[in-house]
Every structure is written in C-alpha cells, then in structure tokens.
Amino acid sequence: MSHLLRRLKLLSALPFMMASSIASQADAQSAPAGDVTISATVNGSTLQIGANPNTYAGTIDSVIFRGVQYVYSNYHGTQFSADALFNNEGQCYNPTEPGSFNDLNKSTSSSILESISNANNVLNTSTNMAFWLAPGQSNGGQECDKPYDTSTVATDYSTIVSNVILNKTVSIGTNGIPNLISVQTDYYVPNTYSPASFIFNGYMPTAFSNSLSYNPQNKTLTPLPQVPAPGAGSTLPIITSTSDGASATGVISGSGGSYAYGYIASPASSSVKIGFWNCGLTIGSVQAGSTNNVNCEIAFGTVDEDIAALNQYSGTSDVTTPIYRFRKAPYLFWTTSYTQGATLWGAQNFNGTAYHVNPYGVSNSTTALYSCLRKNSTADYFASISSTCEGQTVKGLLGYVSPGPGTGLTPLYRFYNSSLGIHLITTSYTEGTSDSGFTFDVVLGYSPIE
C-alpha cells in the first residue's frame, strides 16, 4: 500500500496548529463559508456535504451529520479527496485534488478548479490536479524532476499542474439507501502510465480513533489495531468510528478495489492523531487520453447504521444477524448492536463477531435465543432458549437458531465458570475447554455458518 506514504511523511513536518482549532472540528452545524453544498434528510437529521471552490479546488472539506463534523480539513491534503499515483514514483508523480504540498495552509490551491455545481442536489466538480510535490522537490532524497526510472516516467513533469483531470460526482442516497453517499471519480490521463493507482481518501478528526473491517458477505465485523502512518491495507471495507460507535463512516468500493486505514499523526503535532481511510484501485497500465473510473460509496451514521447500509448495498440484508462479543476481563457481553456494546463496554474491548443467528423464526424449524443477565449480577450475560431466561433477567431476543444439526449449521455451546460466575457462548468447543475455569454446560442450538 505504498500510496499511503505519499503525503503522510511530509504532513508531519508542517507548522504546529493550536489544539483548540483541531478540537473545534468535532462539532459543527454548517459547512465553512463559501462552500458549495448539497444536503438531504437522513434518518431524521440533515446530512450536509460541502466542497470548497477556492482553498481546496472543489475538494470535500466538510461532511456534517447530527452536528458532528466528519472531515479533518486543517491543511491541504487532509480532506475527503482524490489523488492518483503513476509509474511507481510515489509522492513525486502524485496528482492531488486539494493541491500541492507547497500550498500548506494557504487560502488558495495549486490545483485548478475548472467547474463546480450543486444543481439538482448533486455535487459535480472538474479539477486539473496539482502534483503533490513540485518538480525539483525531494522525495526521500530523490529529486522529483530526476525520476527513478527515466524510461517509464512521463515527460510532462515540468510544472506544478499535472493535466490529469478529475471529474467527480457526489450524491446522497445511493441505490435508495438514505445514509450512503456515492463518490464517482473519473480521471482523464494525458499520458500512458504503468502502473496507475486511483484513490479516494478520508481524513477524520481525532475522535475517530476506532477502525474495523467488515465483510458484508458473511457479516463479520473485526476490530483493527490503531496503526500509525503509513497505515495498513485491507481487502475488506473499512469502518472508522468514534470510541462509542455513535458516529462512523463505512467505505465500500463500487469498483472492486482495495482499502487502507490508520490512526495517524496530524499535521498539527505528532501527539495529535487523526483517523484515516482510503478506497482505491490499481491498474497495470492506462493509455494516454483514457478516462478511468473509480467509485467509492461511503455510509454515515452509527456503526450499526453503516453496517446496515453496507449490507443493503451488497444485497446481504436480513440473511443472518451477527452477534458481537465484548470482553472486559473477566466479563463477556453479547449484542446485536455494536454501538450498544461500544457505548457500554468500550470499543477497545470489542472481540469480534462471535456467532450468527437467523433474524426471523420459522415454525417448528427454529428456536428463539434470548439475551439474559444473571440476577444479582451486573455483568454475567448469557444466552438461553428459555423465554424466561431460566428464571434470570430477560434482556431481549437475540434471534433464532436451529434445534438440530444440518447443512450450513454449527453447534452453539454454552460454558460456565463457577469460580467467576460467568458464562461463555461460542461456536468453538475448543475455546470453551481451553479457557481456564470453564466447563461445558449445554448446546443451545445450531448457528448458521456464514
């Protein structure tokens, strides 16, 4: 994922910015003055997207939903923005939508905005992107007008403007999914390049510290580590959220590309971190005069709302329901709502997807599975097929499991630790027997395999 390196090293050298300016990005009511905006009512609240025609040449510098600002936009290059990489030249041959490294925190951009419109509540921009590094600047000791491989680098690297034209279309409500926005990017390239990477990046305020990968096909949500620059790659869609899961983006490629994520040092200070993700596509070779398309869809809302949007976009809604596990030693908590678990137990205690249930019951073919809490305990959560939770406290319905084995099913075991007074619910018998102090209790039923 070498494209991650193109800006992150240089951004760390930018002048210090007061922390109060950074913190102010977390809460906002409207886009910055001068932005061209589109908006829609999403789940009862206004989602507004703003693009700045002057400072950032039409780049998205603001997304506000439920009073939360989703974009870190203190410097050129830290917005929701597009860029490209050609001929393995890294930051040297790197046309970038919001402008160049030389623009720093100027009020103007080296990129040239050719047109911008919000007609019919659709944002359309056309931008002649500037190179991130100008000819003569250095990238790791290599001057950018003296490329690594003179036989492959295009000969037009003589000015700050790349003549790579980005045409971008942004709309709200992809495929009728209210909280999913579509970002369609078309890159016109003036020369033949090999290889070529086309990328859409998201830089988010400090509060967006939590990264998750999500597989819509098997509905598996997995915690990811806080990775510093240059970040890490993923083949699965990325969800970036606040620690309580109440505000999040979920990005999925409509072009079959790959992803990256990180929690990286901001331009303000190495001690101030910001969330990062991208969605991109690498092509072996592109021809002079060609237009190359990359689509990225971005969900906004809680983690659960983002997951629902990604499922609907992928056509996997209502197939099965994942049960998420949180573990705050020694206690365990299971829930169908990631946001609930993160709020109560903290995102850092998320273990992953424990098992799946059916969202609907079928007479004589499925058994209801309930979430229970042992009386006189505040933390011993367990699952039961008893509607009374075996005399304990009923917390709600988790879903449905099959009463007997079958194709595409796996046993769902319950173990108990009498010393600690806690339960373990798992599809892995080995996990139960290897976790010290737990003894086998019962097979609750058979869970669908995803």
Segment 329-353, tens digit of pLDDT: 889 999 999 999 999 999 999 999 9
Of the candidates 223, 214, 202, 209, the one whose C-alpha atom is nearest the C-alpha of residue 276 is: 202
Cα 86 from chain centroid?
A: 25
Is the distance from CB of 6 to CB of 132 less than 8 angstroms? yes
Is the pLDDT at 148 greater than 50? The verdict is no
Is the pLDDT at 384 greater than 90? The verdict is yes
Instruction: Please say whether the structural domain 2-314 has been given the CATH code 3.30.70.
Output: no
Q: Quote the crossing angle between the two packed helices 303-314 and 338-345, to the nearest 10°.
A: 160
Q: How many CB atoms lie within 10 A of CB 27?
A: 12
Task: State mean pLDDT over 297-315.
Answer: 96
Is the distance from CB of 370 to CB of 397 less than 8 angstroms? yes
pLDDT of residue 17: 35
How far apart are the two ends of the chain, measured CA to CA in Å? 29
Cα 245 from chain centroid?
A: 12
Q: What is the DSSP letter of 174?
A: G
Q: Distance between CA 186 and CA 170 in Å, rounded? A: 12
Of the candidates 68, 81, 82, the one whose C-alpha atom is nearest the C-alpha of residue 30 is: 68
Q: What is the DSSP letter of 136?
A: T
| pLDDT mean across residues, the chain | 89
Output the furthest CA–CA distance in the chain (Å, rounded).
77
Segment 232-279, tens digit of pLDDT: 999 999 999 999 999 999 999 988 889 999 999 887 677 889 999 999
Render 391-421 in DSSP notation, one character per residue.
Answer: GSEEEEEEEEEBSS--TTEEEEEEEEETTTT
Residue type present at position 303:
V
Q: Would you list the domain boundaries of the chain?
A: 2-314, 321-448
Q: What is the CA radius of gyration of the chain?
A: 24
HSE, side-chain direction, 13 A CA sphere, residue 376: 2
Beta 258-265 vs 210-215: how paired, if at all? unpaired
Measured over the CA atoms of residue 227, residue 231, residue 237 and residue 240, the dihedral's sign is positive
pLDDT of residue 142: 63
Beta 439-448 vs 409-417: how paired, if at all? antiparallel
